Structure 1
Amino acid sequence: MNALKDDAARAAKFVGLDADTITFRGGQPLNGRIHVRGAKNFVTKAMVAALLGDSPSVLRDVPDISDVRVVAGLLGAHGVEIERDVEGGEIRLDPTNVKQAHMAEINAHAGSSRIPILFCGPLLHQLGEAFIPDLGGCRIGDRPIDFHLSALRSFGAVVDKLPEGIRLTAPGGLHGAKIELEYPSVGATEQVLLTAVRAQGLTELANAAIEPEIMDLINVLQKMGAIISVDADRVIRIEGVERMGGYDHRSIFDRNEAASWAAAALATKGDIFVQGARQPEMLTFLNVFRKAGGVFEVQDEGIRFSHPGTPLKPVVIETDVHPGFMTDWQQPLVVALTQATGVSIVHETVYEQRFGFTEALVEMGATIELHRECLGGQKCRFGQRNFVHSAVISGPTEMHGAEIEVPDLRGGFSHLIAALMADGVSKVSNVGIIARGYENFLTKLRDLGADFTIES
């Protein structure tokens, strides 16, 4: 079994999915109401932050996704006592008896997840040492941990690369640092925040990521006792504190999942109310959704997304860091754009290998051309580097069923949308990967009228 299939099988098992292949009968609109809970990209990091406290933390609106279970397993291996109400979406984390985990336990729980790298700062503060295995994650481009290790060295950590992984120690404790990111990376910003809050002295992070999930992590850390300020010029300053307590916090909603369901409504000519979605965090997506012809209605409880009943319009999209158009939004929306009348252009500037999912769409009948050039308003860091990072989508095209293998989380959900909008039967394998970030996605699909069967 290759690594991709192993990841998919692991994720499927976490959420009780017996088989990892689903047969879809497409051509029917998705109509109805679904609920999105806390953001995958925030909840898992807030769980790690609980390690920094000397008293229990409570996190609310936690989705039942495999990434949450992976982090819970890792925390448990490090001695954190966990009480979880899955149905109620609440988790209690008690770090009172935190300890160093065995490498075998870390590997058993983490799999190919990259989350263990974020344990380093909190564990160095609590225990004076940390171990991490080789790291994986979705195969969508180069996501090295070199910066994480460099930042940890800046704080005073000593990094030793061993055959079984990486060992970090802090003989003299951790101290504040002045760090400037070449690119406003979300993961790098999280690493600095989780390390700096209890480091001695002041830390200044320039060119930081300021995504809503980052700001919510800052809210959590402030509740725990941290002193953090955020300037308008992407500079974050952290004054280290000696101790931190627990927190009680309700997670920000998952805007990536909300956008995915919005794209599904548009692609299948459906009408979906996404309970829990909020307008402020989706402002940029909503603008593009409307330009493409999509209809939305903002309500107190969520946002209703629907197809206009008239031909969709082509759009030009450039992905970017917040407040730009999120890279995680483009993949599901590309499926809908195959039905727009005219030529749409998507310029990917965040991950250099995010168009692999379009191969399956072309097999299903889409007209998509990939280019190495920057086909956007400005050149990006991938220009002149031989990366295929621009896509031209011509439509509308008739889509037909096919056999598809899910490549990554967002690409996988995009393949589900394609299978649901296409005429005929599609067989989608490796669907377990989708469970990493989409809670109860099969139940939600059934509630929306999707026609599918799970292979036994």
Structure 2
Amino acid sequence: MPTGIRTAVDTPTAPVPVSAGEQDEDVDMADVLTVRGGIPLRGSLRVRGAKNFVSKAMVAALLGEEPSRLSNVPDIRDVAVVTRLMELHGVSVKNDGNGELLLDPSNVESARMADIDAHAGASRIPILLCGPLVHRLGEAFIPDLGGCRIGDRPINYHLDVLRSFGAQVEKQPMGIRLTAPNGLHGTHVELPYPSVGATEQVLLTAVRAVGVTELRNAAIEPEIMDLIAVLQKMGAIISVDTDRVIRIEGVDRLTGFKHRALSDRIEAASWACAALATHGDIYVEGASQPEMMTFLNVFRKVGGAFEIDEGGIRFWHPGGDLDSIVLETDVHPGFMTDWQQPLVVALTQASGLSIVHETVYENRFGFTDALREMGAVIQVYKECLGGRPCRFGARNFRHSAVISGPAKLRGADIVVPDLRGGFSHLIAALAAEGTSRVYGIDLIDRGYEHFQAKLDSLGATYDRDLQAAS
């Protein structure tokens, strides 16, 4: 039996935690959601701004010399973490309680490394603060970084990028100090892979660097394009070519911005998969077709139904059998890696063999251990199945999955491994017959706004308890 998961038949007082190498961060094992599954989710909910964009737009405010306003901001833990990091650096952050932030960078200052480390937690945002802080203060500090352990996700891309701009990198006992005695200057960067984080780093550093920066093999995700829109509003000069080349002409001064964040396409797709897996019917207010076209095509191929209107998208299971598919994740405009995990749960209910080839992260199928304990029939392989050979094919990573269905899922005890995997486990618990206990559920608050209230609106049956530690 895999570590950290036990079936409902053999229920211990608490499951054995998964190993630290599989965890996103330390989870609160006393925070438990007891889910009584097998009930179709029906109702409506609202998604707000994209987690993967909002935090970067908040960082962009550091570059301006005037206050910025960001609306459609979700009430999630990541926003709270970034808010505190900004405040540690002297930025005033006011939240009106309705999803609008006023960020005033008039008094930017250095923060103590220990404070950054204490408040960053698993967030990787401190690395993106470096370019703006070096511009504003002449120095920046990075503590040891966490983040979802679904792959190596090394920061070497970031440090190499910052060095190419002229930053000097000094390793210290608690982290890394960056300075630029001669200022930051435009550069030429060609990424070995279209990394979202490295692309954000280039953008946030180049807009105020002296001269022109050319970035090749850039990520062009919708969240990246929305960040470019924010920077352009501030006075940046940025052009995007069709061949993944971004050019930035550095400017001396940036103003503030007023911007409404694009909707969270990951959360919208997660609820769509929940509708499919539970034979439900969910209207997702705020879901946007342009950013979800690739997902919508796959959703339809599997057998799901959807209807788009001006306010959002309705997703539902139309009855009958779901269809198995062959799928490969990829950078935008391909099928997003963050859509893969909730979709795999839905694919356990499809007839036949589905193949999913993960090409973005090398270690993203660890979450399937729990699904197998719940009755799913899933095998993972080192080979590149179902698509073209990828960069993980010769590196001994289990990055392809074969899902056989339909499978009868049964309740189990599960420990949340990471943000997206954790929400996928929640979907499985909602679809399974019987009762499941999901431990470390607080981690889902990091990226899914008020998910418990949304479960209430969909008719889910559950209890959330903070158990005393044994």
TM-score normalised by L of structure 1:
0.97
Q: What is the alpha-carbon distance in structure 2 between the residues aligned to residue 285 and residue 336 of structure 1?
A: 13
* Aligned residues of 2:75 and 2:99 also touching (Cα < 8 A): yes
Instruction: Give the superposition deviation at 1:109.
Output: 1.1
Q: Is structure 2 residue 126 aligned with structure 1 residue 125?
A: no
Query: What SS does structure 1 have at the residue aligned with 2:448?
Result: coil
Match of 2:27 in 1: 8
Q: Is structure 2 residue 308 aligned with structure 1 residue 298?
A: yes
TM-score normalised by L of structure 2:
0.94
Q: Is structure 2 residue 327 aligned with structure 1 residue 313?
A: no
- The correspondence of residues 19-168 of structure 1 with structure 2, limited to 5 A, is 20-86=31-97, 88-168=98-178
* Aligned residues of 1:7 and 1:111 also touching (Cα < 8 A): no
Match of 1:421 in 2: 431
Q: Is structure 2 residue 369 aligned with structure 1 residue 350?
A: no
* Aligned residues of 2:24 and 2:418 also touching (Cα < 8 A): no
Q: What is the alpha-carbon distance in structure 2 between the residues aligned to residue 431 and residue 389 of structure 1?
A: 26
Could you tell me which amino acid in structure 2 is paired with residue 219 of structure 1?
Answer: A
Instruction: Write out the 4+ residue segments of structure 1 that deviate beyond 6 Å after TM superposition.
Output: none
1:228-287 CA-partner distances (Å, limit 9, x unpaired): 000000000000000101000000000000000000000000000000011111000000
1:362-416 CA-partner distances (Å, limit 9, x unpaired): 0000000000000022000001110000000000011100000010011000000
* Aligned residues of 2:143 and 2:176 also touching (Cα < 8 A): yes
Q: What is the alpha-carbon distance in structure 1 between the residues aligned to residue 255 and residue 26 of structure 2?
A: 35
Match of 2:407 in 1: 397
* Aligned residues of 2:356 and 2:400 also touching (Cα < 8 A): yes
Q: What is the alpha-carbon distance in structure 2 between the residues aligned to residue 5 and residue 237 of structure 1?
A: 34
Query: What SS does structure 1 have at the residue aligned with 2:27?
Result: helix
- The correspondence of residues 180-199 of structure 1 with structure 2, limited to 5 A, is 180-199=190-209
Q: Is structure 2 residue 256 aligned with structure 1 residue 256?
A: no
Structure 1 residues 348 and 5 mapped into 2: Cα distance closer, same or farther (>3 Å)? Answer: closer
Identity of aligned residues (%): 70
2:373 to 352, 363, 375: 363
Query: What SS does structure 1 have at the residue aligned with 2:350?
Result: coil
Match of 1:434 in 2: 444
Gaps of 5+ in 1: 13-18
- The correspondence of residues 167-246 of structure 1 with structure 2, limited to 5 A, is 167-246=177-256
Q: What is the alpha-carbon distance in structure 2 between the residues aligned to residue 94 and residue 449 of structure 1?
A: 41
1:449 to 454, 459, 464: 459
Structure 1 residues 272 and 371 mapped into 2: Cα distance closer, same or farther (>3 Å)? Answer: same
Gaps of 5+ in 2: 1-16
1:25-45 CA-partner distances (Å, limit 9, x unpaired): 000000000000000000000
Match of 2:11 in 1: none
Q: What is the alpha-carbon distance in structure 1 between the residues aligned to residue 440 and residue 150 of structure 2?
A: 16
Match of 2:5 in 1: none
Q: What is the alpha-carbon distance in structure 1 between the residues aligned to residue 185 and residue 316 of structure 2?
A: 51
* Aligned residues of 2:355 and 2:400 also touching (Cα < 8 A): yes
Match of 2:349 in 1: 339
Q: What is the alpha-carbon distance in structure 2 between the residues aligned to residue 278 and residue 67 of structure 1?
A: 22
Q: What is the alpha-carbon distance in structure 2 between the residues aligned to residue 5 and residue 293 of structure 1?
A: 32
Query: What SS does structure 2 have at the residue aligned with 1:8?
Result: coil
* Aligned residues of 2:24 and 2:419 also touching (Cα < 8 A): no
1:86-106 CA-partner distances (Å, limit 9, x unpaired): 3x1000000000000011210
Instruction: Give the superposition deviation at 1:113.
Output: 1.2
1:321-358 CA-partner distances (Å, limit 9, x unpaired): 00000000010010010010100000000000000000
1:104-156 CA-partner distances (Å, limit 9, x unpaired): 21012101211100000000000000001000101101100011001100000
Instruction: Give the superposition deviation at 1:5.
Output: 8.6
* Aligned residues of 1:160 and 1:168 also touching (Cα < 8 A): yes
Query: What SS does structure 2 have at the residue aligned with 1:159?
Result: strand
* Aligned residues of 1:56 and 1:247 also touching (Cα < 8 A): yes
Q: What is the alpha-carbon distance in structure 1 between the residues aligned to residue 180 and residue 263 of structure 2?
A: 36
Match of 1:379 in 2: 389
1:21-78 CA-partner distances (Å, limit 9, x unpaired): 1100000000000000000000000000000000100000000000000000000000
Could you tell me which amino acid in structure 2 is paired with residue 36 of structure 1?
Answer: V
Q: What is the alpha-carbon distance in structure 2 between the residues aligned to residue 112 and residue 436 of structure 1?
A: 10
Instruction: Give the superposition deviation at 1:20.
Output: 1.4
Kindly tell me the number of residue pairs found equivalent between the two proteins: 447
Q: What is the alpha-carbon distance in structure 2 between the residues aligned to residue 77 and residue 21 of structure 1?
A: 32
Q: What is the alpha-carbon distance in structure 2 between the residues aligned to residue 420 and residue 135 of structure 1?
A: 33
Query: What SS does structure 2 have at the residue aligned with 1:132?
Result: strand
Instruction: Give the superposition deviation at 1:8.
Output: 3.2
Could you tell me which amino acid in structure 2 is paired with residue 311 of structure 1?
Answer: D
Structure 1 residues 119 and 5 mapped into 2: Cα distance closer, same or farther (>3 Å)? Answer: closer
Q: Is structure 2 residue 352 aligned with structure 1 residue 328?
A: no
Range with greater deviation from structure 2 (77-86 or 264-273): 77-86
* Aligned residues of 1:5 and 1:430 also touching (Cα < 8 A): no
Instruction: Give the superposition deviation at 1:455.
Output: 1.5
* Aligned residues of 1:7 and 1:433 also touching (Cα < 8 A): no
